[in-house]
Amino acid sequence: MIITSSSSEETEIIGEKLGKKLTGNEIICFYGDLGVGKTTFIRGLARNINCEDLVSSPTFTILHEYNNNNKFKIFHFDMYRVTSFDDLESTGFFDFINTGVILIEWAENIEHELNNLKNIIKINIQKKVGQNFENTRIIEIQGVDNL
């Protein structure tokens, strides 16, 4: 499914809609360049599932765990600096599988380690190119039928 967003607010709303579909054991992989809106999408997703914490990119800490009022936990990973299997293993990533919703920014850096996992949703966010499209994003979602 491909969705066009014209603003940060619309990107958050798309995230909210996905949040309504989550059951608690999904791995959501985010792809896209720096500043394209991955964390913005996650902010909307977390808001929809009653996340009480301020959502921010865990670039320097690798992992944020968010508190929410739902039945499942949310683990937000940033894999920007993860470049090998040993790096990934040192984050504790594998200990979190099937313990809640896992959100992964820069999933392309660990793509080869995700191949055997279930319940994967892939979200690719790209800036639309052109003079009048500064805030426009093309969001491609795989693993979900509709929002």
Q: Looking at residue 56, what is its pLDDT?
A: 60
Q: What is the mean pLDDT of the chain?
A: 85
What pTM was computed for the model? 0.87
Confidence grade of residue 58 (pLDDT, cut at 50, 70, 90): low
What torsion do the CA atoms of 55, 106, 27, 125 make, to the nearest 10 degrees? 80
Q: Decide yes or no: CATH 3.40.50.300 for domain 2-142.
A: yes
**Among candidate residues 133, 134, 111, the one with its CA nearest the CA of residue 124:** 111
Residue 55 has pLDDT above 70, yes or no: no
Distance of CA 38 to the CA centre of its chain: 6
**Cα–Cα distance for residue pair 43/34, rounded to 1 Å:** 16
| Sequence ranges of the domains in the chain | 2-142
